[in-house]
Amino acid sequence: MTVEKMAEYLWGLPEQFASILEQGISLPVKYQHNYSNIVVTGLGGSAIGGDIIRTYALQKAQVPVIVNRDYDMPNFVNSDSLVLTVSYSGNTEETLSAYHHARTQGAAIIAVTSGGKLADIARQDGYGVVKIPGGLAPRAATGYLFAPLALIFEELGIVKGAKTDLKETVQVLKAIREGIHPGVDFPENQARVIAREMKDSLPIIWGSSARSETAAMRWKTQINENAKSPTYYNIFPELNHNEIVGFGMPKDLLARLVIIILRDPADHPQVKKRIEISKEIVRSHVKKIVEIQAQGESFLAKFYSLAYMGDYASFYLALEYGINPSPVETIDYLKAELAKA
Ligand code: F6R
């Protein structure tokens, strides 16, 4: 995939939500059940939608939602569980294995995929399959991968207002992209400015709460996969109980850290204080501190406003390094080696 294609997919994220909203989801009546738990199983770009819906459900749902990134299923999964198996390609071995465990344990299963073995097996087994458009890198298809989960949750009565929140997300992202797309140059383009700060540095992403943890994770994985660079993340208040002590040594490494803080105007007042104190603790040791405020009202709009900035910043970081953000040859190599075995 070319650089231009990746730029096109970044621009098209709001339209991914809009197209799933327009298409809608219709589930057989057998899925209407009082589930005792919900598991989203997947890996990488397909799993992160699970984290978004898990965090969304924390505030909106009565039922616990967990994300599984493994070959197995948690032991508690049974006939009162709903398992959403998400794999963009439909061929990820861990997800296929987890699917089989979920089936053996008697769970209700819905597959979200663009095709592959997962679509075939789930259809043969009589489970629901939500087919999404193929041909993108999974991480560039986050709208296609997440929106069906939100609609499934709404359709099953697990959360209310998902469609409204997705519509707000579309509007917020459309406004944000006007300021950060490749036609907007440095220094007006905030994502390009952040990319230049991150160049030749180690970005450390701090989410301001458990709600922004998934946005911090998305920043990390996008920097890894697009810019082929290392980066790590943590969240408040947890990082005040360990990571904050680690700004003593080695001085030359600390001097190359760029701290990126993802904030939400609705953060706990104590967290707001913690962030200010933490900035003062690390300021003289690190290269730079960058802060990004979430935009919008709903959790989904806020999440995606933070994540979208990271999607573009990681894209520009790849360009700063003179590399194509699209290929993930190391992941392809690992999958091919494992397939041989
Ligand atoms: C590649 C990417 C990866 C994949 C992961 C699982 O863009 O983001 O993290 O998402 O290797 O593959 P799928 O999504 O096909 O199940």
Three-state DSSP class for residue 80: coil
Is 92's C-beta closer than 6 angstroms to any atom of ligand 1? yes
Residue 210 has pLDDT above 90, yes or no: no
> Quick check: is 61 in a domain?
yes
> Quick check: is 333 in a domain?
no
Ligand 1, atom 16, residue with closest C-alpha: 87
pLDDT at 200: 98
Which range of residues forms the domain containing residue 145?
A: 3-160
> Quick check: is 173 in a domain?
no
Is 331's C-beta closer than 6 angstroms to any atom of ligand 1? yes
The number of distinct structural domains making up the chain is 2
Are 156 and 31 in a shared domain?
yes
Phi, psi of 227, rounded to the nearest 5 degrees: -95, 0
Are 231 and 119 in a shared domain?
no
> Quick check: is 174 in a domain?
no
pLDDT at 307: 98
Cα separation, 74 vs 101, whole angstroms: 9
pLDDT at 211: 83
Residue with tokens 């069906």: 148
Residues 325 and 311: beta-carbon distance below 8 Å: no
Are 183 and 42 in a shared domain?
no
Average pLDDT over residues 213-225: 97
Is 95's C-beta closer than 6 angstroms to any atom of ligand 1? yes
Q: H or E element: which one contains 291?
A: strand 288-293
Which atom of ligand 1 is closest in space to residue 42's alpha carbon? 16
> Quick check: is 300 in a domain?
yes
- The per-residue pLDDT of the chain, averaged, comes to 97
Q: Residue 185 has what DSSP assignment?
A: P
Are 96 and 212 in a shared domain?
no
31-76: pLDDT as tens digits: 999 999 999 999 999 999 999 999 999 999 999 999 999 999 999 9
Cα separation, 174 vs 177, whole angstroms: 5
Are 124 and 75 in a shared domain?
yes
Is 46's C-beta closer than 6 angstroms to any atom of ligand 1? yes
Q: Which residues are catalytic?
A: 225, 241, 335
Q: Residue 204 has what DSSP assignment?
A: E
Record the pTM: 0.97
CATH number for the domain harbouring residue 185: 3.40.50.10490
Are 239 and 298 in a shared domain?
yes
- Ligand 1 centre distance from Cα of residue 52 (Å): 16
Are 152 and 7 in a shared domain?
yes
> Quick check: is 18 in a domain?
yes
> Quick check: is 55 in a domain?
yes
Rounded to the nearest angstrom, the gap between the alpha carbon of residue 183 and the centroid of all alpha carbons in its chain is: 25
> Quick check: is 167 in a domain?
no
Span between the terminal Cα atoms of the chain, in Å: 28
Task: Return the ∠ at Cα 305 (arms to 8 and 153), rounded to 5°.
Answer: 95
Are 102 and 233 in a shared domain?
no
